[in-house]
Amino acid sequence: MKLKSLIAAASIAALSAGMAYADAHGGKVKVGMITTLSGGGAGLGIDVRDGFMLAAKGNENLELVIEDDQRKPDIAVQLADKLIQSEKVDVLTGIIWSNLAMAVVPAATAQGKFYLSPNAGPSALAGKGCSPLYFNVAWQNDAFNEAAGSWASENDIKKVFLMAPNYPAGQDMIAGFKRTYTGEVVEEVYTKLGQTDYAAEIAQMRASDADTVYFFLPGGMGISFMKQYAGSGVDKNVMGPAFSFDQGILGAIGDAALGVKNTSHWSKDLDNEANVKFVADFQAEFGRLPSLYAAQGYDTALLLQSAMGKADVKDAAAFQAAMEEADFASVRGDFSFAPNHHPIQDIYMREVVKEGDVVTNKVIGVAASAHQDVYGADCKM
Amino acid sequence: MARETLLNIVLFALLPVTALAAFMLDEPFVITLVTKAAILALAGVGLNIALGLGGLVSFGHAAFFGLGGYAMGVLASHAQSYTPIMESPFLIEGTKSMLVIWGVAIVTGGLAALAIGALSLRTTGVYFIMITLAFGQMLYYFAISWPAYGGEDGLSIYIRNEFPGLNTLDPIQFFAIAFGVLAIVLFIASRLAKSPFGLALSAARQNAERVETVGITPFRLRLVAFVISGAITALAGALFADLNRFVSPTMFSWHTSGEIMVFVILGGVGRLFGPVAGAALYILLEHVLGGLSDFWHIYLGLLLLLVVLFARGGLIGTLAGREVAHD
Amino acid sequence: MSLLLLIEQVLNGLQFGVMLFLMAAGLTLIFGVMGLINLAHGSLYMVGAFAAAAVAGFTGSFVLALIAALAAAAAAGALIELLVIRRLYDRDHLDQVLATFALILIFSEGTRYIFGSFPLFLDIPAALSGPILLPGGIYYPLYRLVIIGAGLLVAAGLFLLIARTRIGVQIRAGEADREMIAALGVDISKLYTLVFALGAALAGLAGALVGAIQSVQVGMGEPVLILAFVVIVIGGIGSIKGALVGSILVGLTDTLGGVLLPPLFATFMEPSSANAVGSAVASMAIYILMAGVLLFKPSGLFGGT
C-alpha cells in the first residue's frame, strides 16, 4: 500500500520533471497551441494544427507545444495555465470556439502573452475587451454575416427566413446579418443547440413567403439541416456563412448542398500565388483538400514568422508593431489589421458546385470588399 | 479498518505533499492540478453522502455543481462590472469575497437540492436515476439559452475572488484554501456518518421497512441527506469556478454528473476518502494518458471497465480490503 | 398558424416519436428482461449509422447499408454482452451505469480512430427522396413517411414476437421471474444474448434510418440516448407499450413545443425576448413532461410497481 502511494507520487514527480524546460531561447519563439484534437469538433482543430505546421515547417526558431482542449472550457483554461506557467511560452494560439476563447484569451493577455486567434472572433474581444497583445487572424464572428447581408440587399433578395441555434454565437450571427440587410425579415427562428431534426423548421419555411433561407448551423447541425432540406422539396434559395459548407463538411452533405451560396474570406480557388502554393502543398503533405480552418492556421503561422523576422518576442512593443504590419502573403489575398487587431479583408460569395465527383466551393464574386468589424469603435488600446 | 485509516492518512497527505513538492520545484501547473483534484474530490464527497450513505444514485449532481459555479460567476461578474444584481425591491450588489460566495453557493445548492429532492425522492431505483438526470438537463438547457449571463459562452472572471489574508492568485495559497475546505468537509462528513442521523440513513439504505417500523420516515432522512449532498457539491462548484476563473453551462452537462460519479466509484463507494482517491487518480490518468495518445478516452474507458468488473470497492476497497468502512 | 401547417408538424412529431421508439424498445426490453441500465445503447445506434454509411459508400446500395447496420449493431451488441454486460446483471445500477459509461468512451473514441474526425456521408435512396402530396394539400417528404411506416411495422412485429412466439413467452417469463425460467430448462444466458442483440439491432436500424437525413458523426448517439431514457421512464420501464406511448408523447411535445411556445410567449411578451424565452422553455419541455409524469405516476404510465 505504501509502495503504491510512492508510485503515484513518483509519477506526479515524473510528470513535473517532463515539464521542466529551460527558459532561455535567444531569438527563438515558443508557441503554445491549445486546440480541439479529440471528441466532437476535432476535425477543425486538426486542420488548424496541420495548416500551422505546414507553414512553420523547417523553421528551427519556432518551437511548438500542442495541447488538446477536448472542446471543454475548463480544460482549455488549465492548459493555458500550464503553457504559461510551466512551459513558459511566448505566444498562444489554436483555440477554435468562441466560448473557449473567452475563457482563455483575457487571462493570457493579462499575463503578458501574445494570443493569435486562428478561428473564433467573439465581439467582446474586438470591442471593449480588446488587447494590444491579441491578434485575430481569422475573422470577427459577424463578418461573414454582414457580408452576406449586404450581398443579399444588393442582389434583390427581398424576404428572408433566418435560423440559428439559441446561443450567443447564433444570436450574434443573426444580428450581424440584420445589421446590413435592407430587405424584409419574414421570420427569425432559434433552434436548440445540437438539434438534429429540422422537420418542424422546414415546415415553417415552406409555409412562409420568404424567397431565401439564411442560416447559421455549425458542424453536424448544418449537415442534418441541409440533408433534410434537400429532401423536403422546399425550393427557396439557401445562404449561410461558410462554416456549414466547408470542405470537411461538404463531403458529408453531398449533392444536397449544390447551389447554396455562402460567404467566406477564403476559398481554395482564390487565384493568388500564396494560395495556389498552399493548396498544392497541403494536398501533397496531408492527402486531402484544405479547409478554411487549415487556411487560417497557415496564415497564423505566416504572420507569426513575419513578425519573428523583424523583432524579438521579448520586446513586446516591437513585436506588437511587427505583427501590426501584417507583412506576409496571405492565402486570402489582401490582408491588413484594423486598429483593434482584427482583419480588414475581402469577404467573397461562394457557390457550392460539383467538380468531377467532388462537391466543393467556387467563388462567384466579392460580397464585401475590405470588410472591417463594427466593434473597433469601442476598442481603446 | 485500521489498514484503511492508515491508507486514508497517506492519501490525504499526498495532496499537500505533492503541492509542496511542486512549489519547491517551481511547477505551478502541478499545483493547479492538485488543486483541481482537491476540488473535484470535494464534489465527490458531496455526492458520496447521497450515494454511499443514502444509497441515492443521483445522476444529476452536475445541477448543484453548476449552480455553485454560477453563484460565483453571477456575484463576481456584477462586482467586476460594478452593476447591482437587482435594485428593487431592495438592492443586491455583487461581491468578490469568497466567503460570501461560498455562503450563497451552499444556500443555493441546498435549496435546489430541497426542491429537486422533494420531487425526485418520490421515485426509486432507475426512476430516481433518470429523474435526477432530467433535472440536470433542464438546468443545462436553461443555462445555454439564458442570455443574461453569457449563455453557452459562459462567464469569464478575470481575477480570482478574495479571501481575507491570502493572495488567491498565488497557486499554492489557493491550493491551501481548497484543501482546507476539503479537510473541514471531510471532517464533517465523517462525523455525519457516525451521528444518529447517519446511522439511521445507512439503516434506511439497507432496509427501509425496518427503519419505518421504529418510527423514522426514510423520505425525510433521504431528503436531508440529499440537501447536504447538494450543498457540498455546490460549494465545490464555486471553488471550481474560482480555480478556472470561468463558468459555463458545461458544468451542468450530464458528463459532469457522470464524472463526479466516476470519482466516487473509482475511489470506492461509501468510503470517506473514496472521492479523494478517485479524483486524484482521475486527474493523474487524464494527464498521463492524455499525453500518450489523442485517443486516450479508449484507455480511460478500459480502465474504468476493469475497475467496475474486477476491483469492486474501488481503489480504497482494493488496497484496504473488502470491509465497508462507514459502519 | 394554419391548420395544414399544424398537421404537418404533428406528422413531424410522430416521425420523431417513431424513431425514438426504435431506440427505446431495445432499452426497455433489456431493462425488463435483464434488469440492466445500458448507457451504451446510443453507441450501438452510432455503430449502425457508421456501418450503413461505410457500406453505402462502398456499394451504393441503401438496402445493403440497412442490412449492414442491423448486422453490425447486432454483432457489436452480442459481443459486448458476452464480454462485459453479462457480468453486470447481478450488480447494482451504479455499477451498470459506470461500466456502460466506460463503454461509451471506448465506442466513441474507437469509432473516431477507425473513421476519422469528420462526419460521414449517407444519403437517402433516390426512389425515396423528395416530397409527395398528401390529401388536403400537404407536401411531405416521402422518406419521413417511410420511416413512420417502418417504425410502426417494427412495433407491430415486436408485439407479435412477444405475444405469439416461443421466444416471446420466454421473454415474458424472464420479466416475471428470472429463477423460475432458468429452472424450467431455458438456456437463460443464450436468451439474454439474443435479447441484447435484438435491442442492439433495433438501435442500429434507427441509426441507419436517421443517419440518412442527419449527420453521421461520433457522439451522435448521446442526445438520442438521453431522449430514449426519458421515453422509457415516462412509459414505465420494461413496458413495450409504454415505450410506444412515451415515444409518441415525447416526439410530439418536443416538436410542437418548439413550434408553439415562442408564439405563445409572444402574446404577452415583447417579440425578441419571447423568442429567446420560448425557445429556452421549449428545449426543457420534455424534461418538464417527464418530471410531471413521475410526480403523478412514480413508476411511469405503464410501469409495474
Say yes or no: A183 contacts chain C, CB-CB below 8 A.
no
3-state secondary structure chain A: CHHHHHHHHHHHHHHHHHHCCCCCCCCCEEEEEEECCCCCCHHHHHHHHHHHHHHHCCCCCEEEEEEECCCCHHHHHHHHHHHHHCCCCCEEECCCCHHHHHHHHHHHHHCCCEEEECCCCCHHHHCCCCCCCEEECCCCCCHHHHHHHHHHHHCCCCEEEEEEECCHHHHHHHHHHHHHCCCEEEEEEEECCCCCCCHHHHHHHHHCCCCEEEECCCCHHHHHHHHHHHHHCCCCEEEEEHHHHCHHHHHHHHHHHCCCEEEECCCCCCCCHHHHHHHHHHHHHHCCCCCHHHHHHHHHHHHHHHHHCCCCCCCHHHHHHHHHHCCCCCCCCCCEECCCCCEEEEEEEEEEEEECCEEEEEEEEEEEEEECCCHHHHCCC
pLDDT at A9: 41
Q: What is the pLDDT of residue C35?
A: 84
Q: What count of CB pairs under 8 Å joins B to C?
A: 127
Among A197, A200, A231, the residue with its CB nearest the CB of C129 is A231
CA–CA separation, C280 vs B140, rounded Å? Answer: 10
**Which is nearest to C213 in space by CA: A198, A247, A358?**
A198
B220: Cβ contacts below 8 Å, ≥ 6 apart: none
Residue C305 in domain: no
Specify the pLDDT at position C277: 78
- Report the pLDDT averaged over residues A48-55: 95
> What letter does residue C127 receive in the DSSP assignment?
G
Nearest-CB residue to A166 (from C12, C117, C280): C280
Is the Cβ pair C121, A191 closer than 8 Å?
A: no
Residues of B with CB under 8 A from a CB of C: 51, 57, 59, 119-120, 122-127, 129-131, 133-135, 137-138, 141-142, 144-147, 254, 258, 261-262, 265, 269, 295-298, 300-305, 308-309, 312
Give a yes or no: residue C227 inside a domain.
yes
The answer to whether A66 and A36 have CB atoms below 8 angstroms apart is: no
Q: Cα distance from A116 to chain B (closest Cα, Å)?
A: 19
For residue C280, the distance in angstroms to the closest alpha carbon of chain A comes to: 8
Q: Provide, as residue numbers in chain B, all residues whose Cβ is less than 8 Å from the Cβ of C94.
A: 51, 57, 261, 265, 269
User: Could B133 and C99 be called an inter-chain contact, meaning their C-beta atoms sit closer than 8 Å?
Assistant: no
CA distance from start to end of chain A: 57
Residue of B nearest to C276 (CA): B145
Reading the block at residue C126, the C-alpha cell is 433516390
The total number of residues shown for chain B amounts to 327
Query: C154-175, pLDDT tens digit by residue?
Result: 999 998 988 888 888 887 777 7
pTM: 0.82
A195 in B contact zone (CB under 8 Å):
no
**Contacts with B300 (C-beta within 8 Å, 6 or more apart), sequence order:** B285, B286, B289, C102, C105
* Per-residue cell: B121: 425522492
Q: Phi then psi for C171, rounded to 5 degrees?
A: -60, -45
**Which of B142, B146, B269 has its CB closest to that of C94?**
B269
Cβ–Cβ < 8 Å for C113, B297: no
Instruction: Express each pLDDT in C167-211 by its tens digit.
Output: 888 877 777 776 777 777 778 888 889 999 999 999 999 999 998
pLDDT in tens, A155-214: 989 999 999 988 778 888 899 999 999 999 998 888 887 788 898 899 889 889 999 999
Chain B residue with Cα closest to A35: B294
**What distance in Å separates the CA atoms of residue A259 and residue A251, rounded to the nearest whole number?**
15
**Pairwise CB contact (< 8 Å): C258 & A40:** no
What pLDDT, on the 0 to 100 scale, is given for residue B309?
Answer: 86
List residues bridging with A32 in a β-sheet.
Answer: A65, A92
Is pLDDT at A40 greater than 70 in this prediction?
no
Cβ–Cβ below 8 Å for A228 and C214: yes
ipTM over 0.90: no
Per CB-CB distance under 8 Å, the chain B contacts of C99 are: 304-305, 308-309
> Neighbours of C (≥3 Cβ pairs closer than 8 A)?
A, B
Q: Is A72 on the interface with C (CB under 8 A)?
A: no
Q: For residues C116 and B227, which has the higher predicted lDDT (pLDDT)?
A: B227
Chain B residues touching residue A11 (CB < 8 angstroms): 284, 288
Nearest to B29 among A72, A86, A102 (CB): A86
Residues in B touching A219 (Cβ below 8 Å): none
A7 confidence band (pLDDT: 50, 70, 90): very low
Question: In whole numbers, what is the pLDDT of chain A averaged over residues?
Answer: 86
Whether the CB-CB separation of A192 and A166 falls below 8 Å is answered with: yes
Mean pLDDT per 10-residue section of chain B, whose length is 327 residues: 77 88 85 93 95 90 96 89 75 86 96 94 86 90 80 79 87 93 95 91 86 84 95 96 89 90 85 90 84 78 87 75 48
Sort residue C116 into left (φ over 0), alpha (ψ -120 to 50) or beta: left
- B248 to A103: CB separation less than 8 angstroms, yes or no: yes
Give residue A10's pLDDT band: very low, low, confident or very high (50, 70, 90).
Answer: very low
Out of A17-26, A92-101, B211-220, B227-236, the most confident range is B227-236
- The alpha carbon of residue C305 is apart from the nearest alpha carbon of chain A, in Å, by 35
| The residue to which cell 482583419 is assigned | A343
Strand bridging mode A62-68 / B155-156: unpaired
Q: B294 contacts in A (CB within 8 Å)?
A: 37-38, 42, 68
Strands in chain C per DSSP E: 131-134, 138-141
Domain layout of chain B by residue ranges: 2-320
CB B57 within 8 A of CB B51: yes
Residue C54 forms part of a structural domain: yes
Question: What is the C-alpha separation between C96 and C38, in angstroms, rounded?
Answer: 7
| Domains: count for chain C | 1
Residue C169: inside a domain, yes or no? yes
Percent of chain A with pLDDT over 70: 93
Give the pLDDT of residue A17: 38
Test the B interface: residue of C81, C97, C286 with most B CBs within 10 Å: C97
Of B152, C288, C46, B62, residue with least CA distance to A192: B152
Could you tell me which residues are beta bridge partners of residue A241? A263
Task: Please give the residue that has the higher pLDDT: either A23 or C39.
Answer: C39
C289 domain-assigned: yes
| Grid cell at residue B187 | 471532517
Residues in chain C: 305
DSSP 8-state class, residue C119: P
CB contact under 8 A, A200 and C109: no
Q: Are B17 and A171 within 8 A, CB to CB?
A: no
β pairing state of A358-371 and A343-355: antiparallel
Polymer length in residues for chain A: 381
Single-letter amino acid, residue C280: A
H or E segment to which residue C236 belongs? none
Residue A39: per-residue pLDDT: 67
Judging contacts by C-beta atoms under 8 Å, the chain C residues touching residue A358 are none
Chain-chain contact of A204 with C5 (C-beta, under 8 angstroms): yes
Which of B316, B88, B295, B122 is CA-nearest to residue B217? B122
Pairwise CA distance, residues A240 & A217, whole Å: 9
Residue A98, chain B, CB below 8 Å: the answer is yes
Amino acid identity, residue A305?
Answer: Q
CA distance, residue B18 to nearest chain A CA (Å): 7
In this prediction, residue B1 carries a pLDDT of: 52
Task: Say how many C-beta atoms besides its own lie within 10 A of residue A133's C-beta.
Answer: 23
Strands A29-35 and A91-93: parallel
- Rounded Cα–Cα distance for residues A95 and B312 (Å): 40
Better-scored residue on pLDDT, C18 or B322: C18
Instruction: Kindly report the CATH number assigned to the domain that includes residue C238.
Output: 1.10.3470
A126 or B313: which leads in pLDDT: A126
Q: What residues form DSSP beta bridges with A361?
A: A352
* Parent domain of C282: 3-296
* Strand C131-134 with B155-156, pairing: unpaired
Residue A25 reports pLDDT greater than 70: no
Neighbours of chain A (3+ CB pairs under 8 A): B, C
Pick from A42, A194, A228: CB nearest C223: A194
Q: Which residues pair with A359 in a beta bridge?
A: A354
Report the candidate in A266, A259, A219 with the shortest Cα–Cα distance to residue A236.
Answer: A259
Question: What CATH class has B2-320?
Answer: mainly alpha
Which chain A residue has its CA at the smallest distance from B159's CA?
A107
- What pLDDT score was predicted for residue C1? 59
CB contact under 8 A, C258 and A200: yes
